[in-house]
Amino acid sequence: MGLFKKKKQTAFGLDIGYSSVKGVEVNKSGDEITVSRFGSVPIEETAKGNRAESVVKAITRLCSESGFSTKRVIAGVSGESVIVRVLRLPYFSEKETEELRFAVESEARDFIPFDMEDVAFDYQRLAEIDAGTEGKALEVLIVAAQKDVVKWQSDVILAAGLDPRVIDIGSFALVNAVQYGASMLPSAPVALVDIGSAVTNIAIMKGEHTRFTRDLSTAGNTITRAIMSELGLDEPQAEKAKRDFGISYEGDPDGEEEILTISQTNLPDMFDSIDEGSESTAESGDQMEQQVHAICEQFLGEIVSEIKRCLLFYENQLDGEPVGKVYLTGGTVCMKNSDRYIENLLDTPTEVLDPFKAVKGDILSLDPLERGAKYTVGLGLAMRSVMGNGVS
């Protein structure tokens, strides 16, 4: 091997979502990063309703369609089974590893609502801080994930014939995608929000670290289910209506665009009027559009309220500095006008993340909205392996 030959590293990030599996394979050669393969496959329910079986089938199909060159995968867990927090502890030097471990583990128990035997646990030193009269303090990032959730992921990956090398945390993948994919290291705090089908994942990063995460169980499926029940549609019809109509956005007379916000209080009137049945087809089509807009706005509005609460909590309780920018990802941000709606309600600059700015490959031929919404987590998981740092 020549001394100056660049070492090529390959990593396969596998994002097992609720509605689909997405894979991103990355090659790193020197400083150059290329997405060599990528793909996504929906998870279809089996007749017996066995979730693991459906996921294994989807992963197997993804691999045969996308032809990944390695079986070693990095996957991620998120949701209520994962706890991420920054703790402030008395100062310990780099050498006092045992003392620090003992302090972290005893403090962490207060924040982990599971038995310590049932969680995979890790931590990382963050910053030394000056705690005034109390002297130096140490900030430590703790991570805990329920072992059975981690095991479930590894089992489906093994059953699909792959080799689960690392099970990472979904929100860390978002941070890696920003840092290495979009090549940004924001010194002020930024929020990364993944609005998927079953979970909305919120992470706040500052510098290279995740400092806050929260997962909500309101996401795209909540909106589809509300359309199904309010409009009496089946799932494919409701999904289509959601994608066709999304959020309404109307231009105002001054040329500045403004959101047509429909308050929750006028929703019942709108729903009542579907039953009157006297309108022409065109009118009822129009009415259906208005109803879908109202539902999308109401539920996305609820998600945004939670995001806002997280931003305020972070600013007031954890940092003192406000979140200056919000980056979005996840399929639900493909909803028409959702980014502008979210930005308007949050009153904070917001955009869909394009984490492929600093990489090469065919993925760049995809629409930036689509690649950012779909492949951010997969890319972030793969990046973790080629850049190799952090806690798992």
Site string for Mg ion, 12-41 (x = CB under 5 A): -----x------------------------
Q: Do 330 and 337 form a contact (C-beta atoms < 8 A)?
A: no
d(CA 7, CA 28): 8
Q: Which of 14, 41, 10, 40 is nearest to 26 (CA)?
A: 10
Reduced to 3 DSSP states, what percent helix, strand and coil does the chain have, rounded to the nearest 5? 45, 30, 30
Q: Is 210 in the site for ligand ATP (CB under 6 A)?
A: no
Q: Which of 292, 213, 204, 183 is nearest to 248 (CA)?
A: 292
- From the list 196-204, 214-222, 263-271, 358-366, the region that binds Mg ion by CB under 5 A is 196-204
User: Which one of residues 146, 176, 210, 332 is an interface residue with ligand ATP (CB under 6 A)?
Assistant: 332
User: Closest distance between ligand ATP and the C-beta of residue 113, in Å?
Assistant: 21
Q: Is 196 in the site for Mg ion (CB under 5 A)?
A: yes
User: Which one of residues 59, 238, 334, 383 is an interface residue with ligand ATP (CB under 6 A)?
Assistant: 334
Kindly tell me which of 189 and 331 has the beta carbon lying closer to ligand ATP.
Answer: 331
Q: Is 181 in the site for Mg ion (CB under 5 A)?
A: no
Kindly tell me which of 41 and 87 has the beta carbon lying closer to ligand ATP.
Answer: 41
User: Which one of residues 23, 76, 164, 330 is an interface residue with ligand ATP (CB under 6 A)?
Assistant: 330
Q: Do 45 and 19 form a contact (C-beta atoms < 8 A)?
A: no
| Binding partner of residue 384 among ligand ATP, Mg ion, none, CB cut-off 5 to 8 Å per kind | none
| Binding partner of residue 334 among ligand ATP, Mg ion, none, CB cut-off 5 to 8 Å per kind | ligand ATP
d(CA 251, CA 260): 9
User: Closest distance between ligand ATP and the C-beta of residue 96, in Å?
Assistant: 39
User: Which one of residues 51, 243, 308, 340 is an interface residue with ligand ATP (CB under 6 A)?
Assistant: 243
How many CB atoms neighbour CB 70 within 10 A? 13
| Binding partner of residue 19 among Mg ion, ligand ATP, none, CB cut-off 5 to 8 Å per kind | ligand ATP
Residues 6-25 binding ligand ATP (CB under 6 A) are 17-20
Q: Is 239 in the site for ligand ATP (CB under 6 A)?
A: yes
Kindly tell me which of 17 and 390 has the beta carbon lying closer to Mg ion.
Answer: 17
User: Which one of residues 10, 66, 146, 197 is an interface residue with ligand ATP (CB under 6 A)?
Assistant: 197
- List the 72-77 sheet strands across, edge first: 32-42, 20-29, 8-16, 72-77, 163-169
Q: Which of 191, 217, 231 is nearest to 348 (CA)?
A: 191
Q: Is 260 in the site for ligand ATP (CB under 6 A)?
A: no
- From the list 94-102, 300-308, 326-334, 355-363, the region that binds ligand ATP by CB under 6 A is 326-334
Reported for 317-321, long-range contacts at CB under 8 A and 24+ positions apart, including other chains, are 318/86, 318/211, 318/212, 319/189, 319/206, 319/211, 321/188, 321/189, 321/206
Q: Is 335 in the site for ligand ATP (CB under 6 A)?
A: yes
Q: Residues touching ligand ATP: how many (CB under 6 A)?
A: 21
d(CA 292, CA 284): 12
Total residues belonging to the chain: 392
d(CA 382, CA 12): 5
Left if phi > 0, otherwise alpha if psi is -120 to 50, otherwise beta: which for 215? beta
Cα→Cα distances 289→226, 246, 266, 280, 284, Å: 14, 9, 15, 14, 9
d(CA 180, CA 175): 9
Q: Is 189 in the site for ligand ATP (CB under 6 A)?
A: no
Residues 275-314 binding ligand ATP (CB under 6 A) are none
User: Which one of residues 181, 246, 380, 390 is an interface residue with ligand ATP (CB under 6 A)?
Assistant: 246
Kindly tell me which of 138 and 216 has the beta carbon lying closer to ligand ATP.
Answer: 216
Query: For binding to Mg ion (CB under 5 A), which residues are involved?
Result: 17, 196
Query: For binding to ligand ATP (CB under 6 A), which residues are involved?
Result: 17-20, 196-199, 219-221, 224, 239, 242-243, 246, 330-332, 334-335
